[in-house]
Amino acid sequence: MRQVAFTTLGCKVNQFETEVMEGLFKSRGYEVVSFDRQADVYVINTCSVTNLGEKKSRQLIRRASRQNTNAVIAVAGCYSQISPDQVAQIEGVDVIVGTQDRARIVDLVEAVLANNRTVQVNAVADIMQASEFEDIPLFSIPGRTRAFLKIQEGCSNFCTYCIIPYARGPLRSRALASIAVETEKLVNAGFSEVVLTGIHLGAFGRDLSLDGKEISLVDAVDAVLTAGNKGLKRLRLGSLESIEVSESLISLMQTDPRLCLHLHLPLQSGNDKILKAMNRHYTTSEYRDLITGIKSRLPGLAATTDIIVGFPGESEELFESTLAFIRTMAFAKIHVFPYSRRTGTPAARLPGQIPEFEKKRRVQQLQNLADVQSRTFCESFIDRELDVLMETSEPEGVISGLTGNYIRVYTCGAQESIGQIHPVRLERLYKDGLWGRMI
């Protein structure tokens, strides 16, 4: 039996797409092994959001080549899509697939094997011409406690710093019937939580219609909740643009307890001048009003966000205004990123590029604030009971998992509890979350 090994860089969408490709290989008789083992085929699912992502992608390609010089190396994902010629020049690369046509990856690999690796296959096409969601069924069920379900592809925002619209192409949505079928598979496989993912998740349905009716993300959420009616305990949403959080979505979160009290709403900057330069379509006051209104209707909600520091033209004064704004927001978690200059994006040509050492200083300063807000959010739940989906085992009989509102909880428990939801009495701060006592 041939063996195939996978590694994934980047976002939750990439993780899902790797699981889909694993299923394709398994359905053709391959055994999936760890990436650090010798395999017949290595698949590197790459990221191109930052320069660091591309650097790590190249390192992993070379590592695979060293592990088995006779193995077929297939490179997929955003880096392949953006820079296929660059990927083709890396020694050992046999197959190049971008962000579409992954359904053909096994055929492409086996064509290379049939030719004894004498021919390199480049299957990257013009992603801007893509018009339909690449609907690849899950041929095997991933072995985790939470299951990701990709329902949307492409982005039309064209933020000035972001390469993703050029790597992922125009908006494409998964059919509601397909979403329902995949949900049933995951629920029947025993998953308690499904996480909906997409490149521009809030834009789901803009390219679809049903009997003349417009389709939106709420329809996808409803399809999952209905299909999982007999077993789905939780539904979590991936990253959403704040301006795309609809009244109907909030109402559904109020009425159906299976929808997790967690919204990840990227802010990117706490200064209106920088937001405008980023081509973000809201102001800080609009963002604050939205979060305040949602929290008033959904007590206990975890609002998490992304912030980019060091965007071109971000003076020290503008950075300080971002810090001041964030201090008013009480985020549950903040993902902090230094601005990464991406060739081909408008921001790469802007004046006022910030030195790397200054970006690192600002990242650390903002991360310190993020840590304070995260602890404050966790502390507000001490002496309360919350349901925890147990996910991982720690040393010395400790297990951990996530609450519906995205708090990491540690407790004493048996391995058999992994994958199950248990009520836990939260007692004190611990590591990156809380320590609790399982009820």
Q: Which helix (H) or strand (E) holds 186?
A: helix 176-188
Has residue 257 got a pLDDT over 90?
A: yes
**Residues 364-411 pLDDT 10s:** 999 999 999 999 999 999 999 999 999 999 888 999 999 999 999 999
Arch. (CATH architecture) of 269-282+292-380: 2-Layer Sandwich (3.30)
For residue 379, how many other CB atoms are within 10 A of its CB?
Answer: 12
Q: Do 407 and 378 form a contact (C-beta atoms < 8 A)?
A: yes
Average pLDDT over residues 63-69: 94
Percentage of the residues of the chain whose pLDDT score is greater than 90: 90
Question: How sure is the predictor about 40, in pLDDT bands with cuts at 50, 70 and 90?
Answer: very high
CB 400 within 8 A of CB 411: yes
Contact 23, 2 (CB under 8 A): no
Q: How confident is the model at residue 288 (pLDDT cuts 50, 70, 90)?
A: very high
In one letter, which amino acid is 191?
A: F
Q: What is the pLDDT of residue 415?
A: 87
| CATH number for the domain whose boundaries are 3-125 | 3.40.50.12160
* DSSP structure class, residue 237: E
Outline which parts of the chain fall under CATH 2.40.50: 385-438
Confidence of residue 316 (pLDDT cuts 50, 70, 90): very high
**What are 333-368's pLDDT values in tens digits?**
999 999 999 999 999 999 999 999 999 999 999 999
| Average pLDDT for the chain | 95
Cβ–Cβ < 8 Å for 425, 412: no
Alpha-carbon distance values, 151 to 174, 180, 219, 243 (Å): 5, 11, 12, 19
d(CA 57, CA 54): 5
Which residue ranges does the chain devote to CATH 3.30.750.200? 269-282+292-380
Q: Does pLDDT of 142 surpass 80?
A: no
Q: Give dist(CA 217, CA 223) in Å, integer.
A: 10
Q: What is the rounded CA–CA span in Å between residue 386 and residue 404?
A: 8
Q: Which pair of tokens denotes residue 124?
A: 């990257």
Q: What are phi and psi of 52, to 5 degrees?
A: -65, -40
Fold (topology level) of 128-260: Transcription Regulator spoIIAA (3.30.750)
**Mean pLDDT in residue range 281-291:** 97
Q: Is residue 136 pLDDT above 80, yes or no?
A: yes
Amino acid code (one letter) for 214:
E
Residue intervals of the chain classified under CATH 3.40.50.12160 are 3-125
Other Cβ atoms closer than 10 A to 59: 12
State the Cα–Cα distance between residues 218 and 256, nearest whole angstrom. Answer: 12
Q: Which CATH number is 385-438 given? A: 2.40.50
Of 368, 308, 325, 389, the residue nearest 146 (C-alpha): 389
What share of residues in the chain are helix, strand, coil (percent, to 5)? Answer: 40, 25, 40
Instruction: Give the neighbor-by-neighbor strand order of the sheet with 146-153.
Output: 172-173, 146-153, 193-198, 234-237
